[in-house]
Amino acid sequence: MGGRLDCLSLLREAGVFVQDDDRLLHVQVPRARRLLRSPHSRRVRLDGKSHGVRLHWRDDHVAVHSTIAHRVHALAQSIECQRPRQAIATLDSALNTGFVRERELSEVFSLVPVRLRELRNHIDGRAESGPETLARLIARTFGVTVEIQVSIDGVGRVDIVVAGWIIIECDSRGFHAGWEMQERDRRRDLAAARRGYATLRPTAHQIFSDPGLLLHALQGLLQRARPN
């Protein structure tokens, strides 16, 4: 098409978390380039699959023959192409993976509309996965303390601790598959319960597809006082 890989497509290829339809290809095109190689087509075939194309008309300061957009500009573009919580998860991941540095966030947010700049206050690069970020944001709606990457004696490090006593572990098939891993997780949960913690283990798919499951589970627990 005569453009560059951009936005969510570039971030996904770089190992940054994005929650979108991977059948949509994001392409950056310089504003002055009015004649595209495929001007009448908004679909391309890659790896035997048909992909829709979303064009981002923007001037990036990259080498003329580069096949990828400027990484800071691509990250800024991704904020506009996602819902706020998903955008925060992408920003967390970009920091955690080293795609951008903390000091580059000012440049990222200088490129987005003013209405979206408040999202910077919710970024935490310690989050190790997109589901973990989304779970953290759900927990924060209750106005209680929410800590991430917490070490608990006799249990180990857990993803999130809410209100000082509710553990949230965000499970994915890649890291929690197999019976040995299930045994390990259950042993940790029992050790946590012995110390007065309740553990919730939503899967990544559940957090993505039905976040209300975690929201209502937290609501039910928080309506009770912490067990003695």
pLDDT given at position 40: 46
Domains of the chain with CATH codes? 4-122 (no CATH), 130-222 (3.40.960.10)
DSSP letters for 91-143: HHHHHHTTSS-GGGHHHHHHTS-GGGGGGGGG--TT--SHHHHHHHHHHHTT-
Angle between helical axes of 130-140 and 84-96 (0-180°, round to 10): 130
pLDDT given at position 48: 64
Over residues 62-88, the mean pLDDT reads 96
pLDDT given at position 227: 60
Closest CA to 9 of 64, 53, 61, 41: 53
Q: Distance (Å, rounded) from C-alpha 107 to C-alpha 91? A: 13
Over residues 196-214, the mean pLDDT reads 95
- Mean pLDDT over the full length of the chain: 90
pLDDT given at position 226: 67
* Confidence band, pLDDT 50/70/90 cuts, at residue 228: low
- Give residue-wise pLDDT tens across range 76-129: 999 999 999 999 999 999 999 999 999 999 999 999 999 999 999 999 999 999
Going by their DSSP bridges, the two strands 166-168 and 156-162 should be labelled as antiparallel
- Give residue-wise pLDDT tens across range 181-195: 889 999 999 999 999
* Confidence band, pLDDT 50/70/90 cuts, at residue 22: confident
